[in-house]
Amino acid sequence: MGHIARLTRYALKHKRHFIGFMSIASVATLFNLFTPLVLRDIVDQVTSGANFQTAIFSIFLYLSLFGFYCFFDFIQRYLSALMAQHVIYDLRTELYQSLLEKDLAFYDRNETGQILARVTTDVTTMRQFLLWGYRVIFIGAASLIGTYYVMWLINVQLTLLLLPILPALLLIIYIFAKKVRPVFFSARTQYGTLSAVLQENIVGMRVVQSYVSMDRERERVRKENERYLGLVVDAFRLSAFYSPLLIAVLGIGTGVLIYMGGVQFSAGVLSYGEFVGFVSLVGMLLLPARFLSWGIGLYQRASAAAERTFYILDAREEIMDPEDPAEISDIRGEVEFKNVYFSHGGENWVLKDVSFKVQPGQVVALLGRTGSGKTSVVNLIPRFYDVDSRRVVEYNGKVYALDNKGHVKIDGTTYHEHDGFIVVNGEELQVQDPGHIEIDGVDIRFYKISELREQIGMVHQDPFLFSASIKENIAFARPYATDEEIENAARAAMIHDFIMTLDQGYDTEVGERGVTLSGGQKQRIAIARALLADPRILILDDSTSSVDANTELQIQRALENLMRGRTTFIITHRLSTIRNADIIIMMDRGRIVEMGNHSELIEKEGMYASLFQTLSRMAAIALEETGGRVS
């Protein structure tokens, strides 16, 4: 109910069209009701043998009435199409807007295929309802009442006899509606699952083909496809059962009418003409019954689809703009993490107690094993995810979150907080307040998100390019950048020369996700894109992993110039890059284990020092073995 009401609110935004087509639909229906009367007149006139002239007049009346009806019918259809299309347009715009605003956690939770089904086919289903649903239900209900009214005029007794048809019809419609909705809903959901599987297969076809797992994937698709088939057939089976049942109820009514009519006729209460009129009136109930069952089907389908689509609009965003955002005029680029804990929900702590401070213009290198949380650290700066807002305690190196009543469960026992402490086995554990991140001394949650992100340029670990030209991809951050600026960015990213070798240069299309480029080319275009954004804070997440040593060196040189005075975060597995950083942060399992510059860390003789030595030794051996001299 609620979903269609909500959809109707969209329709009512186009009041003129909505009211227009509804009222014209009523007028058209009226005209349609009148024409048979005129027809009756014509027949009466010619049979009474009277006047051929009057008959001709009536014939023209008939023609013009009918013409009006057709004309109104046309307008009505057109207006309803306009209205439906308008609503769909609005709805899609809103959906798109909402998808743009969703945080990444939303995309982690929902598969592309499912989202896609919700914003495409489900929307189409709603359009079907907008196009037909209102009209059909409206006309159906109106003619139902109208017909009964006319029957009442002719014979009250017989009408009362036939009155039970009405609740029977309504009951059937009600049962049908109730039964079919869950089936439609699961059919829609299954459709989403099917699209998700198809989507994954299309996108990952290269892997499927290289593992020769076509048969297996085919089976997977077949399974989902079959399940969908089953649900759809179920849904249609229900309508195939209930829709003709409505007509059957009317037929049974007619049967009863025949008998009772016969009784009344022989009693002389009913005239011949009245009886025939009655039978045809019962017949006329057929149309509204059909319309109503059709309309209810549309309604249920649309309601299931609407629920799925509105889910997207309603999904709560966790990352939102503050009420009263702090002004960002010129960021200096000081970044500070204060006791940051982070998890992707649940107890899987990806970052634990991360604190560090970066001065404006410093270069920070993050180092650590795969999965140690480097990307997670930098993802928090532009607020792709927010710092965990729960209070936590640490016990035996594990992190436990307190609920808002101050309870925490550790190893199956629940403990309570007292004055900021929790006592476990006589050990006092301090409760940590939720951490936060500051830029220029202000909590980043106080900035407007878009302004914050405009200050940050980020090259992601897996560079995503749009299927557009190279130029559009580089100029993604600043669509109105001049060609010269684009070229400069491309030069700094060492990709300009390559682009110039292409037939269409900067206008070359790169294909979906940049498939027509090599790995290193993609990365360098992503770097150029970030550079063109001219950010105060630059984040390079393993952005040269597929670039050869030569090129990397040159990119680094260019960056050194460009990034002077800006804060830079670099994540890389190449020690050569790390050495020159102002701060090196060593991470392990979500914690910072060492921090300092190269010489400090070497002196410390900790993890960094040993890593560095191992590698140096390896390199030296490799050089020695070959007789290559070192320096």
Ligand X SMILES: Nc1ncnc2c1ncn2[C@@H]1O[C@H](COP(=O)(O)OP(=O)(O)OP(=O)(O)O)[C@@H](O)[C@H]1O
* Binding interface with ligand X (CB under 6 A): 108, 344, 350, 368, 370-376, 461, 515-521, 546
Q: Is residue 518 a contact residue for Mg ion (CB under 5 A)?
A: yes
Length of the chain measured in residues: 631
With CB under 8 A as the contact rule, the residue among 155, 195, 303, 309 that binds other proteins is 195
Judged by beta carbon distances under 5 to 8 A according to partner kind, the member of ligand X, Mg ion, other proteins, none in contact with residue 62 is other proteins
Residues 6 or more apart whose CB falls under 8 angstroms from that of 414 comprise: 407, 408
Helix (H, G, I), strand (E, B) or coil at 575: helix
Number of amino acids touching Mg ion (CB under 5 A): 4
Nearest CA to 165 out of 278, 29, 267, 30 is that of 278
Asked whether 563 and 538 are in contact (CB, 8 A), the reply is: yes
Q: Is residue 376 a contact residue for Mg ion (CB under 5 A)?
A: no
Q: Is residue 269 a contact residue for other proteins (CB under 8 A)?
A: no
CB burial readout 216-249, b (16+ within 10 A) else e = ebeeeeeebeeebeebbeebeebbeebbebbeeb
Applying CB under 8 A, which part among 8-16, 113-121, 151-159, 162-170 lies near other proteins?
A: 113-121
Q: Is residue 432 a contact residue for Mg ion (CB under 5 A)?
A: no
With CB under 8 A as the contact rule, the residue among 33, 142, 150, 279 that binds other proteins is 279
Q: How far is the CB of 259 from other proteins (least distance, A)?
A: 4
Residues 205-224 that bind other proteins (CB under 8 A): 205-214, 216-218, 221-222
Q: Report the distance separating Cα 7 and Cα 131, nearest Å.
A: 12
Residues 6 or more apart whose CB falls under 8 angstroms from that of 42 comprise: 55, 58, 59, 62
Q: Report the distance separating Cα 531 and Cα 543, nearest Å.
A: 13
Q: How far is the CB of 490 from Mg ion (least distance, A)?
A: 20
Judged by beta carbon distances under 5 to 8 A according to partner kind, the member of Mg ion, ligand X, other proteins, none in contact with residue 460 is other proteins
Q: Report the distance separating Cα 365 and Cα 538, nearest Å.
A: 12
Judged by beta carbon distances under 5 to 8 A according to partner kind, the member of ligand X, Mg ion, other proteins, none in contact with residue 445 is none
Q: How far is the CB of 323 from other proteins (least distance, A)?
A: 20
Here the tokens at position 422 are 């929790």
**Closer Cβ to Mg ion, 173 or 465, answer by number:** 465
**Closer Cβ to ligand X, 375 or 543, answer by number:** 375
Binding mask 374-413 for other proteins (x = CB under 8 A): -x------x-x-----------------------------
Q: Report the distance separating Cα 491 and Cα 486, nearest Å.
A: 9
Q: Is residue 36 a contact residue for other proteins (CB under 8 A)?
A: no
Nearest CA to 568 out of 539, 542, 543, 544 is that of 539
Judged by beta carbon distances under 5 to 8 A according to partner kind, the member of ligand X, Mg ion, other proteins, none in contact with residue 268 is none
Residues 475-504 that bind other proteins (CB under 8 A): 476-477, 479, 498, 503
With CB under 8 A as the contact rule, the residue among 323, 330, 370, 404 that binds other proteins is 370
**Closer Cβ to other proteins, 137 or 245, answer by number:** 245
Judged by beta carbon distances under 5 to 8 A according to partner kind, the member of Mg ion, other proteins, ligand X, none in contact with residue 328 is none
Q: Report the distance separating Cα 130 and Cα 301, nearest Å.
A: 12
With CB under 5 A as the contact rule, the residue among 36, 230, 519, 565 that binds Mg ion is 519
Q: Is residue 533 a contact residue for other proteins (CB under 8 A)?
A: yes
Here the tokens at position 466 are 């749009």
SS (H, E, C) 156-197: HHHHHHHCCHHHHHHHHHHHHHHHHHHHHHHHHHHHHHHHHH
**Angle, to 10 degrees, between the axis of helix 214-266 and the axis of helix 272-284?**
160
DSSP-derived pairing of the beta strands 583-588 and 591-596:
antiparallel
Q: How far is the CB of 188 from Mg ion (least distance, A)?
A: 36
Please report the DSSP string for 287-328 in residue order. Answer: HHHHHHHHHHHHHHHHHHHHHHHHHHHHSPPSS---SSPBP-
**Closer Cβ to Mg ion, 375 or 523, answer by number:** 375
Q: Report the distance separating Cα 264 and Cα 258, nearest Å.
A: 10
Here the tokens at position 17 are 């069209």
Binding mask 345-364 for other proteins (x = CB under 8 A): -xxx----------------
Q: Is residue 344 a contact residue for other proteins (CB under 8 A)?
A: yes
**Angle, to 10 degrees, between the axis of helix 52-101 and the axis of helix 112-119?**
150
DSSP-derived pairing of the beta strands 537-541 and 567-571:
parallel
Residues 454-483 that bind Mg ion (CB under 5 A): 461
**Closer Cβ to Mg ion, 217 or 542, answer by number:** 542
Asked whether 373 and 350 are in contact (CB, 8 A), the reply is: yes
Residues 572-611 that bind other proteins (CB under 8 A): 573-577, 579-580, 589, 611
Nearest CA to 22 out of 136, 182, 170, 115 is that of 136
Q: Is residue 303 a contact residue for other proteins (CB under 8 A)?
A: no
With CB under 8 A as the contact rule, the residue among 4, 22, 115, 439 that binds other proteins is 115
Q: Is residue 113 a contact residue for other proteins (CB under 8 A)?
A: yes
With CB under 5 A as the contact rule, the residue among 45, 76, 300, 375 that binds Mg ion is 375
Residues 537-556 that bind other proteins (CB under 8 A): 542, 545-551, 553
Q: How far is the CB of 498 from ligand X (least distance, A)?
A: 7
Here the tokens at position 492 are 């700094």
**Closer Cβ to ligand X, 114 or 375, answer by number:** 375
Applying CB under 8 A, which part among 56-64, 331-339, 352-360, 397-405 lies near other proteins?
A: 56-64
Q: Which positions lie near Mg ion, rule CB under 5 A? A: 375, 461, 518-519
